[in-house]
Amino acid sequence: KQWYQRRVRGFYKTSLPQLYNAHPDTPLKFTLVNTRFPSIEFNTGHVILDMPLTLSLVTDTDSDILDLEMQMTVQGSVSRNNNVITGTVSSAAHTTTVKSSQIGNIDIAQLSGVL
């Protein structure tokens, strides 16, 4: 567990330094919630799943640090053979918007590397 905590802290130290500088030794909680039901589009030969998400990052005392709004779209194909359903993902894309931040300005390009 300590190895994992050190590795996560080291990851944020370089990838999202504002977070590391503001909370270097604070246990953090991530919450990922879909904000409405996902939409699914079945088309000839492929499926498109569109899902809006909110990602919240809080301290162990529930103090807000960062709230992100994400829109995720996954495209792929589904097949059925002998009552077994299989699928493959051909593309995945997301957009991210910072809703609130207690650690200063966040560059969306930084977040793309983290997410």
> Across the chain, what does the average pLDDT equal?
80
Q: Which parts of 36-63 are beta strand (E)?
A: 39-43, 46-59
pLDDT at 11 over 80: no
At which residue do the structure tokens 């977040």 appear? Answer: 111
Question: For the purposes of burial, counting CB atoms within 10 Å of the CB of 19, is it exposed (0-12), middle (13-18) or buried (19 or more)?
Answer: buried
Using CA atoms, how far apart are residues 86 and 67, in angstroms rounded to an integer? 34
Which residues have C-beta within 8 Å of that of residue 57, sequence separation ≥ 6? 19, 28, 29, 30, 31, 64, 65, 66, 67
Place of tokens 């103090």: 63
Global pTM value: 0.67
Q: What is the mean pLDDT of residues 70-81?
A: 87
pLDDT value of residue 4: 43
Q: Is 70 exceeded by the pLDDT of residue 36? A: yes
φ/ψ of 42, rounded to 5, equals -95, 125
